[in-house]
């Protein structure tokens, strides 16, 4: 069993390393578990990085190297492994992670930053020729196709940007687009780059029915969606850019996911399980970009720090306290709750074995939710850490029933 971490981040992409920087700089003991040899996630496979503010000239791998250096500066620890399971202690605070290597790690909070993997269409020949002409990463494989002809499947930003990058190496790129002529899913700037590039050609209203070849890919069979006709196109490689699938199998029984498998989070990047956060491409979000993943990471790290502070304060002041704790749930907008706190403090002056603990329901929503407190004031009496009596205060005289 490892030492206890404040936060363990699963995944070393932009979101994970951003969280690492914020957490470690905030003096949290931080570990990033990455299942790949090199950190960086999807961003490390992206050739062009034109829209990360302040970075005018850098590739995806170069930017991710800078993220890693930033993590190193503040003492983030890194280990390699694939997280296969998460268990939570009975009190809900300490979490234990297990990896495919049989290693275990303990932590107070978790940030899931596992990202997403390229979507597999299941086209005939796709799996058979993977690594033999079928690729999902232009940055990784473009130089293998120098002066050759390749096909790109997809028409979103990634497909267009990677097609433009491929033209630096290949003889010709043919994009297979299922839309009518002139319609791409990419943004306007990317479209303009593609249409202006003489090495990029388009086949409209079509899908790839089959990837053909012998030892290596030698072409594709295309189906025209309007006529149903099948045609053949010679090609030395096929690059697939048709979206991604979130890497959430290891948490699908633990936290709430969308039907598509993405993690559902709130504005603090909190999941349905207190103390577990999620960031980046693995989450259900409008825009999946390096800059949004980095923002998610910053939010999650700060939220995890607040979560730990709240839980440790609760343990010290209530669950591990041997006397009686009068826990008053309140918020600053409720005059009634302020009156209740004043009354409790007056009572406790004559009872040194008692203490008053105040919980701001806005700042400590996890604890308020744990005890189903939706309206204030509410006072719960705990004896030696165990709930003994609850009063949803309508009249201040009801406090007498607590004693």
Task: State pLDDT tens for residues 28-86.
Answer: 999 999 987 778 988 887 777 778 999 888 888 999 999 999 999 999 999 999 999 99
| Whole-number pLDDT of residue 140 | 81
Evaluate the CA torsion angle 200, 117, 273, 299 in order and state its sign: negative
How far apart, in Å, do the first and last CA atoms of the chain sit? 44
| Whole-number pLDDT of residue 253 | 95
CB 58 within 8 A of CB 48: no
**Residue 177 neighbours by CB under 8 Å, 6+ apart:** 155, 183, 184, 202, 203, 204, 205, 206
How far apart CA 35 and CA 99 sit, in angstroms, is: 10
- Across the chain, what does the average pLDDT equal? 94
Burial category of 271 from C-beta neighbours within 10 Å (exposed 0-12, middle 13-18, buried 19 and up): buried
| Whole-number pLDDT of residue 353 | 85
CB 393 within 8 A of CB 340: yes
CATH fold, domain 134-240, is FAD/NAD(P)-binding domain (3.50.50)
| Whole-number pLDDT of residue 403 | 86
Can you tell me the mean pLDDT for 93-110? Answer: 96
How far apart CA 263 and CA 269 sit, in angstroms, is: 10
For residue 268, what are the CA distances in angstroms to 300, 302, 344?
6, 9, 33
Tokens 């004693």 belong to residue: 403
The CATH 3.50.50.60 portion of the chain extends over 4-118+244-314, 134-240
CATH fold, domain 4-118+244-314, is FAD/NAD(P)-binding domain (3.50.50)
Residues forming the active site: 137, 140-141
17: nearest Cα among 54, 80, 59, 68: 68
* Length of the chain as a residue count: 403
Return the half-sphere exposure (C-beta side, CA atoms, 13 A cut-off) of residue 343: 18
For residue 382, what are the CA distances in angstroms to 156, 313, 318, 326?
57, 15, 7, 6
Question: Which pTM value belongs to this model?
Answer: 0.84
Q: Report CA 173 to chain centroid distance, whole Å.
A: 33
- Specify the pairing of strand 378-383 against strand 386-392: antiparallel
- Specify the pairing of strand 276-278 against strand 200-203: unpaired
Phi first, then psi, for residue 27 (nearest 5°) are: 70, 25
- Is the pLDDT at 355 greater than 90? The verdict is yes
The CATH 3.40.30.10 portion of the chain extends over 322-402
Q: What is the largest CA-CA distance in the chain?
A: 90
CB 342 within 8 A of CB 303: no
Q: Report CA 220 to chain centroid distance, whole Å.
A: 35
Token pair recorded at residue 70? 């930033």
| Whole-number pLDDT of residue 43 | 86
Superfamily assignment of 322-402 in CATH? Glutaredoxin (3.40.30.10)
């Amino acid at each position: 069993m490892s030492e206890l971490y404040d936060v363990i981040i699963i995944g070393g992409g932009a979101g994970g390393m951003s969280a690492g920087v914020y957490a470690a700089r905030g003096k949290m003991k931080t570990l990033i578990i990455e299942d790949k040899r090199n950190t960086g996630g999807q961003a490390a496979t992206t050739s062009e990085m034109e829209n990360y503010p302040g970075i005018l000239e850098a590739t995806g791998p170069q930017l991710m190297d800078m993220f890693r250096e930033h993590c190193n500066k503040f003492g983030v620890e890194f280990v390699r492994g694939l997280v296969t399971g998460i268990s939570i202690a009975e009190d809900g605070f300490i979490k234990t992670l297990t990896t495919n290597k049989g290693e275990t790690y303990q932590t107070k909070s978790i940030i899931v930053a596992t990202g997403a993997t390229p979507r597999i269409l299941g086209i005939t020949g796709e799996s058979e020729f993977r690594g033999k002409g079928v690729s999902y990463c232009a940055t990784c494989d473009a130089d293998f196709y120098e002066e050759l002809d390749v096909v790109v499947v997809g028409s979103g930003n990634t497909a267009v940007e990677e097609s433009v990058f491929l033209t630096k190496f290949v003889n010709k790129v043919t994009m297979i687009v299922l839309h009518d002529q002139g319609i791409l899913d990419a943004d306007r700037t990317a479209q303009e780059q593609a249409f202006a590039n003489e090495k990029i050609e388009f086949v409209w209203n079509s899908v790839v029915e089959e990837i053909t070849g012998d030892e290596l890919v030698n072409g594709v069979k295309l189906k025209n969606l309007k006529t149903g006709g099948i045609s053949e196109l010679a090609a030395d490689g096929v690059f697939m850019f048709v979206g991604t699938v979130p890497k959430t199998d290891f948490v699908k029984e633990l936290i709430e996911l969308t039907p598509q498998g993405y993690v559902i989070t709130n504005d603090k990047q909190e999941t349905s399980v207190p103390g577990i956060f999620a960031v980046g491409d693995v989450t259900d979000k409008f825009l999946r970009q390096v800059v949004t993943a980095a923002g998610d990471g910053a939010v999650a790290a700060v939220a995890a720090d607040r979560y730990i502070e709240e839980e440790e304060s609760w343990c010290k002041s209530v669950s591990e306290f041997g006397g009686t704790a009068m826990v008053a749930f309140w918020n600053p907008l409720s005059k009634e709750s302020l009156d209740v706190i004043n009354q409790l403090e007056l009572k406790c002056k004559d009872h040194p074995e008692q203490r008053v603990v105040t919980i701001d329901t806005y700042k400590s929503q996890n604890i308020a939710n744990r005890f189903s407190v939706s309206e204030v004031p509410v006072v719960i009496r705990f004896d030696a850490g165990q709930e003994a009596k609850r009063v949803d205060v309508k009249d201040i005289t009801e406090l007498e029933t607590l004693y």
